[in-house]
Amino acid sequence: MKIAERIYYIVLMLFFLWVFLSFCDIIADNITPNPTHSIYNFFVVITKFWEA
């Protein structure tokens, strides 16, 4: 049970890290005149998912 709990928390922390780094990517790209975000950006992935 402890192993499953640790795996859960590791996956949860990786998910939050992905969201945080995606947010940082958006902020860094919006400084430029023509922002281009990574295709692995959380917000890009969610947007593509909801459009399909």
Closest CA to 40 of 17, 7, 12: 17
Burial 7-45 (b: 16+ CB within 10 A, else e): eeeeeeeeeeeeeeebeebbeeeeeeeeeebeeebbeee
H-helix or E-strand spanning residue 44:
helix 42-51
Q: What is the pLDDT of residues 6-46, one digit of tens each?
A: 999 999 999 999 999 999 999 998 988 888 889 999 999 99
At 32 the pLDDT is 87
At 1 the pLDDT is 86
